[in-house]
Amino acid sequence: MSRAAQQPPAARPTLEAVAARAGVGRGTVSRVVNGSSKVSAKARAAVEQAIAELGYVPNQAARSLVTSRTDAVALVIPESVAKLSSEPYFSDIITGVSAELADSDLQLLLVLVRDEHERERLSRYLTARRVDGVLLVSVHQDDPLPELLERLELPAVLGGRRSERETLSYVHADNAGGARAAVRHLLSRGRTAIGTVTGPLDIEGAAARLAGYRQALAEAAVPADEGLVAHGDFTERGGREGMRELLARRPGLDAVFCASDLMAAGALQALREAGRRVPQDVAVVGFDDSVVARHTEPPLTSVRQPIEETGRLMVRSLLKEIAQPGRFRRQTVLPTELVVRESS
């Protein structure tokens, strides 16, 4: 007796069981569960009571099998460049995405792609259409994923874009504008020899920040000097090395714009190491206005971009695209804002 009781972990009731209990047909129960309006008040009440009594919960697999919807979307984060934990960008994206998704009935699948092998796995997964849509952040120029998404006609929204002629939907911050504001700010502080440490230029956002830097200088009629441009990779180490390079090439520089806060933190280290005072000798500006910006010594002036908001908007675009797959691009650009602190 006790054996029998413990063996089957309380088989879940089915639609059919609910129908029987409520004294209606399967169709009616299905209609109630899915919120159809074409059900009489009486039938609805009976069904709802039966559902409550039985503790009925729909079986998603069965539903999915017939509707071929999965009620899940994937957030894909290529982790090739930065570690999740050191790059606050990803955490904020996740927060925004999750928050916006909470009101829908969609589940969030998190997929970190570390290497070729894992990308392969993801491709198979997407080909199997195991999700209704995909959010993809930190896209590289030659990333094969966006193309795959287009080919599969899978609803997708990018965080960032591959180029200015992006064919997929995307949401991103006004990187060029933000960089421009940063450099103008440095100019307004009387700085003239302004260097920059870029991010990986195969990410359009990084390229746009470099372009913004150049624009601002050009507007101010400051002659271009490629010796003032060092290439980083968004990491702290990259920032440190980029800064050292700049100092070696142009010892007289009096300001630097870094394409990320993490790199700016690295730059601060290199400057300290070289005995330069910040901001007296060299002013520093970062990008992202992440947690680190407030904790460096001195705290960083930085370009704030609304990352969490980016995640939210990505979801909103994706939901629309899923609702009506008439794939028309939805491309959103969010404004940035300069936050001035002691480093400039």
72 binds DNA (CB under 7 A): no
- Of 54-62, 118-126, 210-218, 261-269: span binding DNA (CB under 7 A): 54-62
28 binds DNA (CB under 7 A): yes
Contact 182, 285 (CB under 8 A): yes
Query: Binding residue for DNA (CB under 7 A) from 49, 59, 163, 192?
Result: 59
53 binds DNA (CB under 7 A): no
As measured in angstroms, the least distance from the Cβ of 104 to DNA is: 16
As measured in angstroms, the least distance from the Cβ of 105 to DNA is: 12
Query: Binding residue for DNA (CB under 7 A) from 3, 4, 38, 142?
Result: 38
Positions that interact with a second copy (CB under 8 A): 9, 12, 55, 57-62, 64-65, 68, 70, 72, 75, 79, 83-86, 88, 90-92, 94-95, 98-99, 102, 107-112, 114, 118, 121, 124-125, 127-130, 153, 265, 290-292, 295-297
Rounded Cα–Cα distance for residues 159 and 98 (Å): 15
Query: Binding residue for DNA (CB under 7 A) from 3, 35, 42, 85?
Result: 42
Gap between the terminal Cα atoms of the chain: 78
21 binds DNA (CB under 7 A): no
Q: Which residues contact 213 (CB under 8 A, 6 or more apart)?
A: 179, 180, 182, 183, 194, 196, 257
Long-range CB contacts for residues 66-70, cutoff 8 Å, separation at least 24: 68/129, 69/132, 70/129, 70/130, 70/131, 70/132
Rounded Cα–Cα distance for residues 21 and 37 (Å): 21
Tokens (6 digits) for 177: 């504008």
Which partner, DNA, a second copy, none, binds residue 291 by CB below 5 to 8 Å per kind? a second copy
Which partner, a second copy, DNA, none, binds residue 7 by CB below 5 to 8 Å per kind? none
Q: How many other C-beta atoms can be found within 10 angstroms of the C-beta atom of residue 337?
A: 14
104 binds DNA (CB under 7 A): no
50 binds DNA (CB under 7 A): no
Cis peptide before 298 (omega within 30 of 0): yes
Coil, helix or strand at residue 84: coil
As measured in angstroms, the least distance from the Cβ of 64 to a second copy is: 4
As measured in angstroms, the least distance from the Cβ of 23 to DNA is: 7
The dihedral over CA atoms of 168, 173, 179, 184, expressed in degrees to the nearest 10, equals 130
Q: What one-letter code names the amino acid at 135?
A: L
Residue carrying structure tokens 């390079």: 245
Rounded Cα–Cα distance for residues 247 and 228 (Å): 9
Residue carrying structure tokens 């101010």: 220
Query: Binding residue for DNA (CB under 7 A) from 11, 116, 223, 280?
Result: 11
Question: Smaller CB distance to a second copy: residue 296 or 305?
Answer: 296
Q: Return residues touching DNA (CB under 7 A).
A: 11-12, 14-16, 23-28, 30-31, 33-34, 37-40, 42-43, 56, 58-59, 62-63, 65-67
